[in-house]
Structure 1
């Protein structure tokens, strides 16, 4: 932010703590080791918890923060994008400058507003496994309900059906920043790209993780651009669909199963 810009609003700013700094350390360790597994081990985290944290960070960012590197003689790995490194550096500079708040923060870096805005997104607590940051493209109201089209980036959209009252309460309009939340249990998976269904939304990508439990499995699909969508299905369904890493699959989501939220 330049000095000529409007001052940063610091209402509600509290010293970062808890999960946010766990996420920050995880990103730093991934960047230094080139491996999520090594970073998780160093932090005493499970590999699954580390991947879920990374997926959440990427889904709540307008640009990828962590990307997978292709395999080869070195076996591939994981690294931070330039955007991710700048975000980490911003957090660390904020930590160092905390004693001087608010006089120093406005001069820290030109794009502080962008990264501070992103930091606020990690304050949201929800049980929904899938959380996407997006921008409202259109709000089409009917007699009772409204269809809200949300752009989640990389040519991917989600259509949500909510009541008109909810649309008014959230003050949704074209250009509004919004979160789209979807529980993993509500997502149907298919490997048939020609399948016709009543589900309003289809997100297609590649399976990057398939972890079976006693009865159910968590299947994670990576979308073009790096965002991910996680689904909980039965182990039997995994076998029937032959789901495994590298398989192309689609996530089907009913418009009524998408919950919209806005920053407070």
Structure 2
């Protein structure tokens, strides 16, 4: 039986598949034999080997158990490198700092930010990306899981101070069924009640007084160092030069001063939850 030639340099996913085939053949196992050891079908093993399907976290861990691989060079580590490849360039680096920040200030446009999303809202958002063939279903599932892990930032002790300003479009834009938006509105209201948070809405009527046209995040670290994060269509950029971040922080303070108070913002969300304009 002829087998496809694998080019591990073609992509990280191809490198994963080539390594999998090499180890499997070194053990003298067929794809069927490996499938029996991992609980997957031989078709699935073949698809991953030939880079027709991306590996999942569970499959990678099952491979490590089947081959007895431990330490730094596991399939799980290789999988996580591929997973980061499905995220916007620069975003994994930002998430690392986000998880250690003592203060998080963020401004979002169009969608509820990940730190405040319910699982259902996040899943609906990623399902649309799958529909557009922008990502695979497996990558969508991993992104939803990442949202959950990031939200542990809010619950850690000591908790960071989190300032959130949402453009009005975030709460006006429907996402999925009405029940999904109802649950998301409840999530926002509970967030506003937390002792370490501040939630504000930048209303449409702010017009030109809105200092940002795109989402932006400013982090303050334990040593009082500040950094900002912003995204373009191609990549995310983490700015760690204080001289460049200070003007962004100043603009953020101006945004907060012009935005609705938390009480007025909560009132708007409650009206939307009731179906009022």
The TM-score with structure 1 as length reference comes to 0.24
Structure number with higher helix proportion: 2
Specify the structure having the higher radius of gyration (Cα). Answer: 2
| TM-score for the superposition, normalised by structure 2 | 0.23
